[in-house]
């Protein structure tokens, strides 16, 4: 495999100087004024960034910058402290319904934005071509799409696969093998740093683990899909009002409680496991008592107990960003909050972000062979995510 090496000199100070120069020349032509920021978190660095020819699909020799006026997208991102992403909803890009926003490509973009210490601004488009055009016009800093190489080349843009050449890992998890980030200019530090970010050896491994969390194969199996749809049509009508009532009581998404109920018992109010957990939400005896549940097989009490316990788990992780808090709460619901917090402490000691679900999931995956509870937790959270997405895309 041929490798292309770039030597990059980047600092936010130089970005600010370039932007100042540009603003000074064009201020009279602009509708809004830009106030250059002072940056002290980044110092001038020299980095060797190795980009595989697989990761970087389109390399225009001299493509336009995102503004078309000589200002790199990186400059604008660092000054505005915001990374604007143009994308189309999909299994491999992002899912967003009822303020429930997440996704494989979206989570990677959030992680990249965190590394740059900027916020993320997601713009939704109907087609990949529209998202690519937004980057070409400078209305977005990158496009998150599953566009073909041919379509990207029509816009003379620079693109890189999120798998960094490990397409088979995405396919195995039901994700699109060519989901990519596309930039206006291959020479822009924003795209060069992104390539280094994605193709770092550790990052490639973690990307594969994130793909496992966003596995799309669960309900593509005919048997699982039929069983799931049958439970929603035959059993859910008996409990739907209870789910909505308890969701309102404890400030939850009622469809989330349904997804949890299906994961726990397949919406069977009389379910009993070999370990003694019972009911629609499969509460242990100790949890039921703590939640004021006297009859675990009573649907109303079971749903109420599960909703109340989930609320407590969310409160335990109130410092986790909203985008990841649900996954933390579900993991804690499954194996207890202390187990999750123990993992957080280990991540923090290793210099990693303890409030990133991607990091927690990677830890669970890395230690799954030595702890069966971790395997169960991984499946538990991933399955509920899959069920919830499916419920939200159906008319229930």
Catalytic residues: 264
Strand partners for 272: 278
User: Quick check: helix, strand or coil at residue 305?
Assistant: helix
Q: Which of 108, 103, 107 is nearest to 90 (CA)?
A: 103
Strand partners for 381: none
Q: What is the DSSP letter of 56?
A: B
Instruction: Judge whether 159 and 180 are in contact, CB under 8 Å.
Output: yes
Query: Angle between the 322-335 and 299-316 helix axes, to the nearest 10 degrees?
Result: 120
Q: How far apart are CA 144 and CA 165, in angstroms?
A: 17
Strand partners for 144: 87, 181
C-alpha torsion sign, points 116, 119, 124, 125: negative
Which alpha helices (DSSP H) does the chain contain, by range? 12-26, 73-80, 104-116, 128-136, 149-154, 167-172, 189-199, 201-213, 222-234, 236-249, 254-265, 285-290, 299-316, 322-335, 337-349, 357-366, 372-392
The number of beta carbons lying within 10 Å of the beta carbon of residue 390 is: 18
Instruction: Judge whether 219 and 392 are in contact, CB under 8 Å.
Output: no
Q: Which residues of 306-344 are buried (b: 16+ CB within 10 A; e: fewer)?
A: bbbbbbbbbebbeebeebbbbbbbbbbbbbbbeebeebb
């Amino acid at each position: 495999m041929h490798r292309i090496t770039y030597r990059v000199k980047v600092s936010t100070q130089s970005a600010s100087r370039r932007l100042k120069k540009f603003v000074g020349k064009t201020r009279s032509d602009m509708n809004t004024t830009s106030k250059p920021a002072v940056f002290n978190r980044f110092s001038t660095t020299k980095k060797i960034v190795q980009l595989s020819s697989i990761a970087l699909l389109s390399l225009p020799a001299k493509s336009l910058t995102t503004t078309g006026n000589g200002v790199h997208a990186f400059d604008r991102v660092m000054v505005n402290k915001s990374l604007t992403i143009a994308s189309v909803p999909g299994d491999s890009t992002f899912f967003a319904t009822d303020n429930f926003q997440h996704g494989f490509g979206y989570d990677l973009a959030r992680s990249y934005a965190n590394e740059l210490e900027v916020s993320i601004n997601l713009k939704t488009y109907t087609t990949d071509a529209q998202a690519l055009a937004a980057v070409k016009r400078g209305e977005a800093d990158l496009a998150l799409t599953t566009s073909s190489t041919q379509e990207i080349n029509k816009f003379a843009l620079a693109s890189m696969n999120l798998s960094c050449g490990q397409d088979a890992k995405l396919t195995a998890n039901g994700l699109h093998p060519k989901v990519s980030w596309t930039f206006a200019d291959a020479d822009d530090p924003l795209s060069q740093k992104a390539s280094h970010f994605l193709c770092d050896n550790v990052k490639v491994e973690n990307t594969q683990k994130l793909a496992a969390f966003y596995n799309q194969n669960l309900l593509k199996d005919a048997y699982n899909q039929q069983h799931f749809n049958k439970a929603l049509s035959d059993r859910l009508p008996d409990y739907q009002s209870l789910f909505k009532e308890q969701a309102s009581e404890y400030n939850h998404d009622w469809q989330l409680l349904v997804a949890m109920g299906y994961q726990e018992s397949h919406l069977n109010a009389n379910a009993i496991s070999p370990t003694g957990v019972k009911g629609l939400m499969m509460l242990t005896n100790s949890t039921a008592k703590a939640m004021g549940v006297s009859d675990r097989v009573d649907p109303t009490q079971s749903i109420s107990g599960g909703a109340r316990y989930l609320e407590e788990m969310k409160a335990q992780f109130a410092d986790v960003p909203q985008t990841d808090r649900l996954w933390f709460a579900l993991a804690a619901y499954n194996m207890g909050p202390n187990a999750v917090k123990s993992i957080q402490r280990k991540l923090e000691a290793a210099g990693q972000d303890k409030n990133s679900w991607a990091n927690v999931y990677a830890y669970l995956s890395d230690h799954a062979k030595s702890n069966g509870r971790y395997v169960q937790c991984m499946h538990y959270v991933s399955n509920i995510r899959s069920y919830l997405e499916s419920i939200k895309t159906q008319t229930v």
